[in-house]
Structure 1
């Protein structure tokens, strides 16, 4: 006997995914139309314009890749890197290693610089590596949720430009909740996902590429692209993926609408609504809301006597890593949070697995009631596990942060949501 899909009620306060905004869930349930229906193509064009604003760019090459955020990463790297191309990856957490793996699978000659987890790179270190390696592409994660660190990018575009390199960033964990200015910072390619600060489900990967990056893509036309355009000129090193061939994806989203795949309509609707909601609230206001929620969570766990991991000056707004006290079992506390309170928090990877909990304050959950509820539940779970904590300390500290914040920073349009 089968059963209908009926998930349990959860408050997702880990590093992502998070609870999707109810307006996004409603968009997912709306009717499907054909991929070349005028309404559909108009909605695709609207979505492109929305994400230009979200990314802070005027790039024509701003599209959605149908797949999770990793599909966007792979589309960018596989399409921009030909076998033998040099790529430099500054690694400061798990997802830097992911960029290394994908670039290696693309046949690139991969060079890395590494720093301790919990730290970021000074621009001088990256520049020295670029000068030494002379890469075609520098690929860097903006915010690595495994460590909660946010790598400054505002000077890296100028560094790459001086040495003739392209700059790519994975902004999955940061976009919407932290500043990101693709054009102003000289970023040639950026990819993201919906499931963190954008407040949607995983399954669509917003992506933008600069005109300079588009030129690289056009130099790697695939066999199929040549056939579709009745063009006999095919690159010597075509893009190694068909589905993730970014040149063909741009053609599909471009004015000619050359067929490549059938657009995932429901995910398009969700992505459109994520961007619309963010821009309706205002990019700066959303970043400020995430900053306030992140500060409230950080000061809340500190008021419970817990230590925060990493360089706080370079922490993402939307995730805090908390060192697990020696007298408790980290997974047991996480299980109690889930079973007793319906709240999910995360652990981490690699050298931080079992050493920290990761608490997220992002998207629809970057709001006061979610932060306070999580801190109250964490205090209770710690006390039940035998760890002494100041009664009410975390909640009071978080409320003090909110009391001191601007009255314009608070909740993501909850009145509209409940209407």
Structure 2
């Protein structure tokens, strides 16, 4: 084998400058990128284990919990979802999934792959569930686990969770929520709302890169997970590997991962050091600014974006009273080629906005104001570019109306 010719080897990575104003990922905080460039250490170096412990405490503050079992799953936000669902249920357990967007369907699929008996209820995209509708389904299905998305970026809706935990506790049901799109930009109170498990990702309101999934588990959830554990340090103990007691994954076995993050420090995998640094910095920056202050900043800039798109004559999708603060969906004006206009935003202005999925594909754009990009200047730049592109493709947009309305909203907030 000969060496590859030097002329065929690409140069250093050099991505274009973008302003990511879609539903995620978004631009990372500069401090998070700097943290990722810090030197690596061994996985049992005292600095490493101390950083893991620090990160756990920081995320207790982010989640609003005192749960000891608050840690990171190495992988994207979907890794956290799989770890939670695979570890909390046994094959044959009943799982209830209320679906109000694409990511409810994802929770149902992952539960099916975990060999659960999956029951779903659905509501129209752009709406959310009432507590009474969820309780009726809980009484009827008698599930082991309720899995519920908090903020579904496919519809931009924010499902209220504050009454659901009490419903689950009253009926003996474990309560899990996917907060990937909402954590950090919208209220989340793991303890006060009675969550048994919750997972998220860094790439939305937390302002980091995709690749690490914060998770928190109640004592009740840890008890369920520990009752299943049949593997220690990667060595199988005696038993039938087809038994429901075995988690259907080694990588996502939370019993083993808890031992890795806990005082025993039993080896399970090599922690993704740079992602640990990133996750730590995401949480540190959020708590340094103040959790309530960050949520208020998302609410303020999100309200400005909403005012701006409405002033431009764009029709907003869904029940605005239940919209996430960090993303808005607008119908693409008739006659405007949606994908072509999005491409023009990217090519001419370096700004990315999103399309959507399923029944909304090609019908709406989704515009995010989250994490580092929950800033007035980012929102105003996006509205300027959007007006220019819409006018280019023939849409009747009042000149400057979007920026004026957004500026007025910011001034009055």
TM-score, with structure 1 as normaliser = 0.95
Distance in 1 separating the partners of 2:339 and 2:134: 37
Q: 1:236 to 1:384 in 2, by over 3 A?
A: closer
Q: Deviations over 1:81-122 (max 9, x none)?
A: 110000000000000000000000000000000000000000
Please, which of 18, 25, 41 is the counterpart of residue 33 of structure 1? 41
Structure 1 residue 237 displacement after superposition: 2.0
2-structure distance, mates of 1:58, 1:301: 40
Distance 1:20 1:56 in 2: 23
> Per-residue deviation at 1:219?
1.1
- Mapping of residues 83-102 of structure 1, within 5 Å: 83-102=91-110
CA root-mean-square deviation: 1.2
Does the residue aligned with 2:189 lie in a helix, a strand or coil? coil
Q: Which residue of 1 aligns with 2:408?
A: 400
Unmatched 5+ stretches in structure 2 = 1-7
User: Which residue of the other structure, out of 278, 281, 287, is the alignment partner of 1:279?
Assistant: 287
Structure 1 equivalent of residue 396 of structure 2: 388
Indicate if the aligned counterparts of 2:100 and 2:125 stay in contact, CA closer than 8 A: yes
- The normalised TM-score by structure 2 is 0.96
Gap change, CA 1:236 and 1:96, over 3 Å in 2: closer
The aligned counterpart of 2:73 is 65
Please give the alpha-carbon distance, in whole angstroms, between the structure 2 residues aligned to 1:224 and 1:50: 27
Match of 2:117 in 1: 109
Candidates 333, 340, 359, aligned match of 1:351: 359
Task: Find the aligned partners of 2:373 and 2:281 in 1 and give their Cα distance.
Answer: 16
Report the secondary structure of 2:71's partner residue.
strand
Contact 1:24 1:273 (8 Å CA) reproduced: yes
Tell me, yes or no, if structure 1 residue 372 matches structure 2 residue 380.
yes
1:19-418 aligned at under 5 Å gives the runs 19-224=27-232, 227=235, 236-405=244-413
Distance in 2 separating the partners of 1:102 and 1:222:
22
**Following the alignment from structure 1 to structure 2, what is the Cα–Cα distance between the partners of residues 300 and 226?**
54
CA distance in structure 2 between the aligned counterparts of 1:141 and 1:179, rounded to whole angstroms? 14
Partners in 1 of 2:385 and 2:95 — Cα distance? Answer: 45
CA separation in 2, counterparts of 1:142 and 1:35? 33
2:79 partner SS:
helix
CA distance in structure 2 between the partners assigned to 1:221 and 1:383 by the alignment: 60
SS of the equivalent of 2:194 reads coil
The one-character-per-residue Cα deviations of 1:322-370 (angstroms, maximum 9, x if unpaired) are 0111121111110110011000000000000000000000000000000
Q: Is the 8 A contact 2:356 2:362 kept in 1?
A: yes
- Contact residue 226 and residue 233 of structure 1 kept, 8 A: no
Where 2:228 maps in the other structure, the secondary structure is coil
Q: Structure 2: how far apart are the matches of 1:244 and 1:98?
A: 17
Shift of 1:224: 4.2
